[in-house]
Amino acid sequence: MATPAYVPILKGKEGEFAALETLGDDPRAQIMPVIEIPAVPYDYSNDRPSRTVEEHIANVSDRLRRCWGVLPVYLDVPWTSDGEGGPSPLDVALRRCHAGGVQAVPVISRRSAPDAVQAAARYAEDSGVGVCVRLFVDDFEDNIDIDADTSRLLAPFGDVDCDLILDLADISNSSNPAHLVARSMFNMIPIPERWRRVILAAASFPMDLSDVGAATTATIPRREWQLWRALQRRPKGLPQQGVIYSDYAIAHPLPREIDPRIMVMSASIRYTTDEDWLIVKGRNVRQYGFEQYFDLCRVLVGLPEYCGPTFSWGDNYIAGCAAHDVGPGNATTWRKVGTNHHITVVVRAIANLGRAA
């Protein structure tokens, strides 16, 4: 299994799957995404889950197979089913992926239920793909024996290959400088010789775009990319395996479940640049419709930050929408466009950093 250059953390939803499906060959070969399977959607109209856990995971795993095929992927199911009994959601997901030929590496953490850890251990032993441990900032607090906890977590896995994600999550409002937090975590990595790969994840995209005015263009700094570049400039103290870059693409780390009956969404394009996200925002789609995207795309293609229609599938769609050659799409379309463009930007930027080193 080749070492990836970039590990994007993506929600297991249609926009993200479609973004992976339309990636060019070069970025596809350079990444190994973490797919976080979201909890079962809630049916607010009927006041119940919209489907069973088995049905939900079957939909997600089948879509993953179609968009990613046999390429390796990290699979995280960071929730449990309440009151349904039966196997853990991670167990269901791994069995579905195995049946579909998806090369899924299970992700576990200190928050994983015991049955999920046991399911991951059985799968890792049978498949030979290994396991990934995901540790967060609060796992390193003084009252936690992270070495002992990690040893217990890995005990069922024997000598299988193990990867480590150090996840800073949202660093946009941290009271401590992110580079100091990251270096502190590097110094406290449990069982440092155990890891095949060490991955550093962080995020700074806001929960929503309410701070961006309607019918305006704004920029939001990509603080996780700034952190990564700062660490590369001073590599002393980094893990001996090296560190792989990871982010949450154009999303906030925390899932947000909103009743669609009351949600008011504004049209916007999230466009990644070298150092920032460029936000081209319209007005709420209930009142002004999705046709706003024709105008938003015309604004974007006229800006110097636009990379041109051949840069990625997402850029080509933006150009087509600006020219009315394609439709304005919907919220899922623009998550696909923005995520596809973002992954392409990051893969090329990492390659350029490597050539400059």
């930027």: which residue's tokens?
349
Per-residue CA distances from 109 to 6, 27, 118, 136, 150 (Å) = 21, 28, 12, 9, 9
Residue 353 confidence (pLDDT) = 85
Please give the biggest Cα pair distance in the chain: 59
| Residue 84: per-residue pLDDT | 58
Average pLDDT of the segment spanning 261-287: 92
Residues contacting residue 330 through CB under 8 Å, at least 6 positions apart? 290
Contacts of 188 (CB under 8 A, 6+ apart): 140, 146
pLDDT tens sequence across 92-131: 999 999 999 999 999 999 999 999 999 999 999 999 999 9
Q: Is the pLDDT of residue 75 over 80?
A: yes
17: closest CA among 56, 50, 51, 60? Answer: 60
Would you place residue 315 in the very low, low, confident or very high pLDDT band (cuts 50, 70, 90)?
Answer: very high
Query: Cβ contacts of residue 301 below 8 Å, gap of 6+?
Result: 318, 319, 322
The confidence band for 87, taking pLDDT boundaries of 50, 70 and 90, is confident
User: How do residues 237-256 score in pLDDT, each as one tens digit?
Assistant: 899 999 999 999 999 998 77
Question: Hey, what's the torsion of the CAs at 167, 172, 177, 180, to 10 degrees?
Answer: 10
> Is the model more confident about 203 or about 254?
203
> Quick one: CA dihedral 127, 18, 92, 159, positive or negative?
positive
Q: Would the pLDDT of 203 be above 80?
A: yes
Cβ(321)–Cβ(329) below 8 Å:
yes
> Average pLDDT of the chain?
93
258 versus 277: which is more confidently predicted? 277
The pTM is what?
0.95
- Let me know the angle formed at the C-alpha of 222 by 220 and 226, rounded to the nearest 5 degrees: 140
8 Å CB contact between 270 and 219: no
pLDDT at 185 over 60: yes
Instruction: Say whether 1 sits in a helix, a strand or coil.
Output: coil
The answer, yes or no, to whether residue 1 has pLDDT greater than 80, is no
Rg of the chain in Å (alpha carbons) = 20
Q: Which residue type occupies 114? A: P
Q: Which residue has the higher pLDDT, 339 or 81?
A: 339
Question: Is residue 337 pLDDT above 70, yes or no?
Answer: yes
* Burial of 308: CB neighbours in 10 Å, binned 0-12, 13-18, 19+: exposed
| Rounded average pLDDT over 24-29 | 96
Question: Is residue 259 scored above 60 in pLDDT?
Answer: no
How would residue 262 be classed by pLDDT, with cut points 50, 70 and 90? Answer: low
For residues 142-170, average pLDDT: 97
pLDDT value for 265? 87
331-356 and 14-21 helices, crossing angle to 10°? 50
pLDDT band at 333 (very low <50, low <70, confident <90, very high): very high
Model pLDDT, residue 260:
60
357/347 Cα distance (integer angstroms): 16
> Would you state the pLDDT for residue 261?
63
Q: Say what the pLDDT of residue 255 is.
A: 75
Place of tokens 């200190």: 110
With pLDDT > 90 as the criterion, what percentage of the chain qualifies? 82
- pLDDT at residue 263, rounded to an integer: 65
Whether the per-residue pLDDT at 86 is higher than 60: the answer is yes
CA angle 200, 203, 208 (to 5 degrees): 165
- Ranges 36-50, 160-174, 175-189: which has the least confidence: 36-50
What is the Cα–Cα distance from 252 to 349, expressed in whole angstroms? Answer: 21
Phi, psi dihedral angles at 276 (to 5 degrees): -135, 175
d(CA 104, CA 213): 41
Instruction: Calculate mean pLDDT across residues 304-316.
Output: 98
| Residue 85 pLDDT greater than 70, yes or no | no
Parallel, antiparallel, or unpaired for β 276-284 and 266-272?
A: antiparallel
Domains in the chain: ranges and CATH: 9-212+219-261 (3.20.20.10)
Q: What are phi and psi of 70, to 5 degrees?
A: -95, 5
CB atoms within 10 A of CB 38: 16
